[in-house]
Amino acid sequence: MTDIQQPTLPRTPGPEMAALERFYTDVTWTGAIEPNGMGPGSPAMTARGRGVHSRLHDGLWIVGDYRQDQFLTDGTFVLTWRLHWVTGWDTDAGQYRATLNDNYGHADVMHGRIDGDRLIYATPEERPVRLRLTWDLTDPAAPVWTNEVCLGGDRWQLVESYRMRPAAADTATGG
């Protein structure tokens, strides 16, 4: 496979995008951030957030905008994190790809795959610090999103995990 884009006519969404759709409904979430999850010495935290999605270029790409408020376990507000995510099927590469940009100044490209009821994205293997994001719809009534990190090729470690709910079911979490 090559990352060189060949000139083509505009494409239309295929079965790969139909398979991806179910992972990107508008949601709210609550959950926990592990101690050291936001860097060495960072405390355990709780978080609540919201994700809203739209479609771009006639459905070839899914755009997600996310906002998450993080708190110490005693309820003290720490920060608000925001992320812009664009994902879809890269026909030339033959795989799901995503780009991300957040309010910490991070920008990255991730490669993804669907494994049954799980959608898994990871940063490239050659990176010294890798991220893996998983949307798990095994229990449709209680979908879970996790963020893991791998440092220097070691084992994956949990950073944070959240239970998601359809956004219409919980309007108390501001956006």
Taking residue 143's Cβ as centre, other Cβ atoms within 10 Å add up to 21
4 within domain boundaries: no
Examine the pLDDT at 10 and tell me if it is beyond 60: yes
Number of domains in the chain: 1
78 within domain boundaries: yes
The domain in which residue 124 lies consists of 15-169
In which band, very low, low, confident or very high, does the pLDDT at 27 lie, cut at 50, 70 and 90? very high
105 within domain boundaries: yes
Question: What is the tens place of the pLDDT at every residue in 34-87?
Answer: 999 888 899 999 999 999 999 999 999 999 999 999 999 999 999 999 999 999
174 within domain boundaries: no
The CATH number of residue 157's host domain is 2.40.128.20
Query: DSSP readout, 16-60?
Result: HHHHHHTT---EEEEEEE-TTTTSTTPPPEEEEEEEEEEEETTTT
107 within domain boundaries: yes
Three-class SS state of 78: strand
